[in-house]
């Protein structure tokens, strides 16, 4: 799936992402083990299993229709959860679907143009 129009491709270099920023997955390209992520700021990053994405974690799996990231919680993270009375877990496993699968298009049928 190639949905890269208008985006600038770059190799992810491990900086510039904050956890609060949206992260979107655009699928694999030629190499099935390589996926494309963007931060919503126009830059596109090439990632593979093991790539570290600051604020989001490490790429664990790359699939055509989704990518899996793993973020291990620090002791500070856990302490913050505990202080809120929240469930304390050890890791996040983040399953990010390919962006275009989230909003498929219902195309207008033969739009009349009278």
- Residues in contact with another protein by CB under 8 A are 3-7, 22-24, 26, 40, 65-66, 81, 84-97, 99-114
Work out how close the CB of 50 gets to another protein at its nearest, in angstroms, rounded to a whole number.
18
Q: Which two tokens stand for residue 88?
A: 């304390």
Residue 12 or 26: which CB sits closer to another protein?
26
Beginning with the edge strand found earlier in the chain, give each strand of the sheet holding 8-11 in spatial order: 8-11, 43-48, 34-38, 24-28
Work out how close the CB of 7 gets to another protein at its nearest, in angstroms, rounded to a whole number.
7
Distances (CA, A) of 101 to 4, 24, 58, 89: 15, 11, 23, 29
Q: Which two tokens stand for residue 42?
A: 């126009």
Work out how close the CB of 17 gets to another protein at its nearest, in angstroms, rounded to a whole number.
14
Residue 4 or 49: which CB sits closer to another protein?
4
């Amino acid at each position: 799936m190639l949905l890269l129009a208008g985006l600038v491709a770059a190799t992810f270099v491990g900086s510039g992402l904050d956890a609060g920023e949206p992260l979107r997955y655009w699928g694999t390209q030629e190499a099935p083990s390589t996926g494309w992520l963007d931060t919503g700021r126009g830059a596109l990053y090439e990632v593979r299993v093991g790539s570290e994405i600051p604020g989001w974690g490490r790429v664990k799996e790359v699939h055509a229709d989704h990518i899996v990231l793993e973020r291990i919680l620090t002791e500070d993270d856990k302490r913050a959860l505990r202080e809120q009375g929240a469930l304390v877990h050890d890791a996040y496993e983040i399953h990010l679907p390919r962006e275009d699968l989230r909003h498929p298009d219902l195309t207008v049928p033969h739009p009349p143009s009278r």
